């Protein structure tokens, strides 16, 4: 489905426009001059410290110049946001920069991140940007860019934007000023696109679903889509609230959803994060159905439909060994990528895979979308439940047993120590000892988070006692030598 420009047909009033004085853009001093701005999922940080309106204006202007090099005058740029209190401010700053670069901005307002990706791909937009810090706490925020095909920016393009920011005082405005349009009506084309193909196959009549919307970006769209598909819907945290987004709810805190699924005797519960690009599920027994289980179940469905080339699934180094062994028994191959949906997407392109994702619930399926999409994933999992005429708990029982796995986060504020943790010899020695001790019965993953000031320590093994022992030892080493 394609969405065409309406800017020529629509009369524009003063309230529809954002005026960008060129002098303001020229006077801002470039921030983070010697620091890489882009992490594993765009630019993210604490608002007012790492992420400021001045920086957002610069980023918008420089991204507009880079992505709009071959654009026609007033070609659009899609802009969306989550419910954080700082999102309005950062969205307006980005819009100021983009319009100063000569692009029109179509601001669709509160929406899931994949809505921006979809609209960027299916309109004549030169790019898209989402203001959100995903699962981070309310005081953080972030900026995620998409190129014209709806995928996230490759590292090379991110690097070019950073180079422009570092040379900000030398960047020249185009001399053609864009306009800012409020276009919330465009979200309907996204919801139509994700539900229409499924509605032709199945309806959700008789399915009772609990949705935890995390006070975030999916509060308006997700309940409407599930109801349109025929499900009985119970909602938690279903109003946009910038003070409470992700706080003790959503995909990072599943206790309220588990309680609600039990209380309402629901068939399934879905928990989204703040920008709804990922989802986790809860079955009627209160068990967590994470991205590994979703990949396995969706992979089997695609396999049966002959829509999974080479029976290949791309996961990450975080995916459970039990999942890998079960998929191999299914006749498939599991390829592991580095953490981050961009890394998963890159490996999918390299190997022609049509399904990939992360244990955290970022799922990519090019048959249906160009980006990780929590709402789309939830709809497909509900479809699998209905088509099998069973409950999610039965599907989980018939899938695989996970190895015990424990992940702990250690806060490391020092950026250099965090990035160069592999140079810490005492920690490396301990990792070698743990690896030798577990042999082929387990594995260890230590990595620096690309979105938060954390060192993540994960241990997986057949024996939970071994998991607990080595996790405690490694966490203590990180705290002693890095924190």
- Tens of pLDDT along 78-120? 999 999 999 999 999 999 999 999 999 999 999 999 999 999 9
Same domain, 25 and 173: yes
Structure-block tokens of residue 437:
């001790």
149-192: pLDDT as tens digits: 999 999 999 999 999 999 987 777 767 899 999 999 999 999 99
Q: How far is Cα 96 from Cα 19, in angstroms, rounded to an integer?
A: 7
Q: Which segments in the chain show pLDDT lower than 50?
A: 1-34
Same domain, 424 and 344: no
Q: What's the confidence (pLDDT) of residue 200?
A: 82
Residue 443: how many other CB atoms lie within 10 Å = 17
For residue 461, being part of any structural domain is answered with yes
Q: What's the confidence (pLDDT) of residue 35?
A: 53
Tokens 């937009």 — which residue?
125
* CB-CB contact of 269 with 393 (8 Å): no
For residue 223, being part of any structural domain is answered with yes
Same domain, 391 and 465: no
Same domain, 388 and 428: no
For residue 2, being part of any structural domain is answered with no
Q: Select which of 134, 353, 371, 393 is catalytic.
A: 134
Same domain, 250 and 287: yes
Farthest CA pair distance, the chain: 70
Choose the final residue of a domain: 397, 417, 443: 397
Same domain, 49 and 159: yes
Tell me, what CATH number does 160's domain have?
3.40.120.10
User: Does residue 399 have an active-site annotation?
Assistant: no
264-298: pLDDT as tens digits: 999 999 999 999 999 999 999 999 999 999 999 99
Same domain, 43 and 162: yes
Same domain, 446 and 388: no
Q: Which helix (H) or strand (E) segment is 384 a member of?
A: helix 374-388
Provide the residue range defining the domain that includes 140. Answer: 14-182
* CA quadruple 55, 57, 58, 62: dihedral, nearest 10: 140
Pairing type for strands 405-411 and 442-448 reads unpaired
Same domain, 411 and 339: no
SS3 215: coil
Tell me, what CATH number does 471's domain have?
3.30.310.50
Same domain, 87 and 216: no
Q: What's the confidence (pLDDT) of residue 201?
A: 86
Same domain, 150 and 251: no
* CB-CB contact of 210 with 221 (8 Å): no
445 forms beta bridges with: 458
Choose the final residue of a domain: 397, 428, 450: 397
| Domain count along the chain | 3
For residue 410, being part of any structural domain is answered with yes
Q: How far is Cα 95 from Cα 284, in angstroms, rounded to an integer?
A: 44
Q: What's the confidence (pLDDT) of residue 170?
A: 76
* CB-CB contact of 463 with 457 (8 Å): no
For residue 7, being part of any structural domain is answered with no
Q: What's the confidence (pLDDT) of residue 156?
A: 94
- C-alpha angle 426-427-429 in degrees, rounded to nearest 5: 65
For residue 343, being part of any structural domain is answered with yes
Choose the final residue of a domain: 159, 182, 205: 182
Same domain, 392 and 409: no
For residue 5, being part of any structural domain is answered with no
């Amino acid at each position: 489905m394609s969405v065409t420009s309406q800017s020529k047909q629509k009369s524009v009033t003063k309230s529809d426009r954002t005026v960008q004085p060129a002098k303001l853009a020229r006077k801002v001093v470039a921030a983070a001059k010697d620091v890489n701005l882009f992490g594993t999922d765009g630019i993210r940080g604490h608002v007012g410290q790492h992420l400021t309106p001045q920086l957002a204006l610069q980023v918008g202007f420089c991204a507009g110049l880079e992505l709009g090099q071959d654009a026609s005058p007033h070609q659009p740029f899609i802009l969306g946001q989550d419910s954080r209190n700082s999102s309005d401010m950062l969205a307006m700053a980005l819009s100021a920069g983009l319009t100063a670069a000569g692009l029109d901005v179509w601001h669709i307002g509160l929406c899931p991140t994949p809505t921006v990706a979809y609209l960027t791909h299916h309109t004549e937009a030169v790019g898209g940007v989402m203001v959100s810090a995903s699962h981070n706490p309310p005081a953080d925020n972030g900026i995620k860019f998409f190129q014209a095909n709806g995928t996230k920016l490759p590292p090379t393009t991110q690097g070019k934007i950073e180079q422009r920011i570092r040379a900000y005082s030398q960047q020249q405005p185009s001399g053609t000023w864009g306009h800012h349009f409020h276009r919330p009506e465009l979200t309907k084309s996204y919801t139509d696109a994700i539900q229409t193909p499924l509605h032709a196959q199945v309806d959700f009549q008789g399915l009772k679903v609990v949705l935890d919307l995390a006070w975030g970006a999916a509060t308006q769209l997700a309940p409407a889509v599930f109801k349109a598909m025929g499900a009985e819907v119970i909602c938690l945290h279903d109003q946009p609230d910038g003070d409470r987004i992700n706080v003790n709810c959503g995909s990072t805190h599943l206790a309220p959803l588990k309680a609600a699924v039990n209380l309402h005797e629901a068939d399934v519960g879905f928990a989204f994060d703040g920008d709804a690009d990922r989802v986790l599920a809860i079955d009627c027994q209160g068990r967590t159905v994470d991205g590994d289980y979703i990949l396995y179940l969706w992979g089997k469905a695609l396999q049966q439909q002959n829509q999974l080339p080479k029976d290949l699934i791309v996961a990450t180094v975080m995916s459970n060994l039990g999942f890998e062994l079960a998929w191999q028994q299914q006749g498939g191959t599991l390829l592991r990528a580095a953490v981050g949906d961009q890394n998963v997407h890159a490996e999918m392109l390299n190997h022609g895979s049509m399904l990939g994702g992360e244990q955290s619930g970022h799922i990519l399926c090019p048959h249906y979308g160009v980006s990780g999409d929590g709402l789309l994933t939830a709809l497909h999992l509900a479809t699998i439940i209905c088509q099998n005429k069973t409950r999610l708990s039965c599907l989980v029982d018939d899938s695989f047993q996970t190895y015990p796995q424990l992940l702990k986060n250690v806060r490391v504020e020092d950026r250099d120590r965090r990035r160069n943790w592999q140079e810490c010899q005492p920690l490396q020695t301990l990792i070698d000892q743990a690896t030798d001790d577990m042999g082929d019965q387990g594995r260890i993953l230590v990595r620096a988070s690309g979105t938060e000031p954390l060192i993540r320590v994960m241990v997986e093994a057949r024996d939970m006692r071994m998991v607990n022992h080595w996790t405690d030892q490694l966490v203590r080493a990180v705290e002693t030598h890095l924190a």
